[in-house]
């Protein structure tokens, strides 16, 4: 990248009040490392413990979702170990709190299934989310979900505002999927 473009990238992040940005392959190890950094950063800013925990929780669910569902991967996706997925994660300040945003490419054919999972949390208040969460815990993971259909519910419960989801079709094969949470 030439230096002007590189500066532009930094400027864009700064203008959007992003304190942390990671773009690249994510693994469980990278998640742990970034998670620790975020916790330290929030502690240094004297964020209340309860809020730091919620940011961390949403971050973990968001990133584990990328690890599990991203289309853009290296290695055999059936291999449980060494699953490496590509995504972008930002943490920033927002007039209403702290934002956690996660994006990744998914296959166009998976969009419908993803929308269905989102509809479960959309428009629900905290009590409804709590009941749904319990129901999902009892029922166990849905078919083909690799174990974390609860993730969106967890994020929705911890966020201070409704989660924002978006799908941008970027080619015949891929859609950029993005979740934004404000805590």
Partner 1 sequence: METLEIEATETTPEINFDFSNHSFLFCGESYPEHSDEFYRPILEAIQRYSQSSSDNQATFVFKLTYFNSSSARVLMKLFELIDEMGEERLINIEWHFHEEDDTMEEFGEDFSDDIEHANFKLMSYSDD
Contacts of partner 1 in 41-100 (CB under 8 A): 48-50, 53-54, 56-57, 60-61, 64, 67, 80, 83
Please tell me whether residue 104 binds partner 1 under the rule CB under 8 A.
no
Of 125 and 172, CB closest to partner 1: 125
16 part of the interface to partner 1, by CB under 8 A: no
When the beta carbons of 75 and 141 are compared against partner 1, the nearer one is 141
Positive or negative torsion for Cα 69, 66, 165, 136: positive
Q: Taking CB under 8 A as the criterion, which residues in 114-133 touch partner 1?
A: 130, 133
What's the longest Cα–Cα distance across the chain? Answer: 53
Question: Per the structure block, which two tokens stand in for 121?
Answer: 């949390």
Determine, following the binding rule CB under 8 A, whether residue 19 of this chain makes contact with partner 1: no
SS3 letters for the chain?
Answer: CCHHHHHHHHHHHHHCCEEEEEEEEECHHHHHHHHHHHHHHHHHCCCCHHHHHHHHHHHHHHHHHHHHHCCCEECCCCCCCCCEEEEEEEEEEECCEEEEEEEEEEEHHHHHHHHHHHHHHCCCCHHHHHHHHHHHHHHCCCCCCCCCCCHHHHHHHHCCCCCEEEEEECCCCEEEEEEEEEC
Would you count residue 137 as binding partner 1 (CB under 8 A)? Answer: yes
Minimum CB distance to partner 1, residue 92 (Å)? 21
Nearer to partner 1, 55 or 175 (CB): 55
140 contributes a contact to partner 1 by CB under 8 A: yes
Nearest distance from residue 22's CB to partner 1, in Å?
A: 17
In the complex, which residues of this chain contact partner 1 (CB under 8 A)?
28, 32, 36, 48-50, 53-54, 56-57, 60-61, 64, 67, 80, 83, 130, 133-134, 137-138, 140-141, 147-148, 150-151, 153-154, 158
């Amino acid at each position: 990248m030439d230096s002007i473009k590189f500066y532009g990238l930094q400027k864009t992040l700064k203008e959007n009040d992003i304190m942390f940005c990671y773009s690249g392959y994510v693994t469980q190890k990278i998640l742990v490392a970034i998670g620790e950094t975020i916790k330290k950063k929030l502690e240094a800013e004297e964020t209340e413990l309860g809020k730091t925990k919620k940011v961390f929780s949403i971050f973990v669910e968001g990133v584990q979702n990328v690890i599990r569902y991203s289309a853009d991967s290296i290695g055999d996706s059936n291999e449980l170990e060494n699953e490496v997925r590509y995504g972008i994660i930002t943490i920033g300040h927002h007039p209403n709190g702290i934002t956690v945003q996660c994006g990744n490419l998914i296959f166009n054919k998976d969009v419908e299934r993803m929308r269905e999972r989102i509809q479960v949390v959309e428009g629900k208040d905290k009590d409804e989310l709590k009941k749904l969460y319990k129901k999902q815990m009892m029922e166990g993971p849905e078919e083909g979900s690799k174990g974390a259909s609860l993730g969106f519910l967890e994020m929705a419960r911890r966020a201070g505002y409704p989660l924002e989801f978006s799908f941008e079709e970027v080619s015949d094969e891929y859609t950029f999927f993005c979740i934004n949470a404000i805590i």
